[in-house]
Structure 1
Amino acid sequence: MNSNDYVKYLTEQFVQYMNRPRDERKTQREERKDMRGPVHYHLFGLLPYACSHYISNIKRMFNRRH
């Protein structure tokens, strides 16, 4: 794909986006935002999940002993 085709594609996509009603664009944006996970997972990957899982396992083991 040469640069002229790419510019043409981008222009078509932009025009299609702008031809949609404003409320439809807003709902589509919100749906994409909702599909993403929480921000800390999005920014840091699985590290927050792994830490919370590890901590919950430690708490569970501690509660079983007492």
Structure 2
Amino acid sequence: MASKTEDYIKYLTERVVAYMDTPPEVRKEQRILHKSTRMPWHVRWFGMIPLSIAIWWKRRRERKAQRQKTSPHDS
């Protein structure tokens, strides 16, 4: 058990030292890059459900518009 704790402390120390050694400009660029590449909040929180609902709703509107165009009552 003590070995795992020591290894973890060593890992954390290495990470902190690496963080402190990188210039602030590089850290800021990395932060901006990370934020730009992550998934939108609704996907991270709810998964694919919002996307599937959006696709369903769009198709529903398109079908409704298509039915209104080809309706025989438009004479």
Q: TM-score, normalised by structure 1?
A: 0.90
> Which structure ranks higher in relative contact order (CA pairs < 8 Å, sequence separation ≥ 6)?
1
Aligned residues: 66
Percentage identity across paired residues of the two chains? 35
The structure 1 segments of at least 4 consecutive aligned residues displaced by more than 4 Å after TM superposition are: none
Q: Deviations over 1:16-60 (max 9, x none)?
A: 011101111011011111111211111111111111011011011
CA distance in 1, matches of 2:34, 2:42: 17
Q: TM-score, normalised by structure 2?
A: 0.80
CA distance in 2, matches of 1:33, 1:60: 34
Structure 2 unaligned blocks of 5 or more = 69-75
- Over aligned residue pairs, what C-alpha RMSD do you find? 1.2
Q: Which has the larger radius of gyration?
A: 2
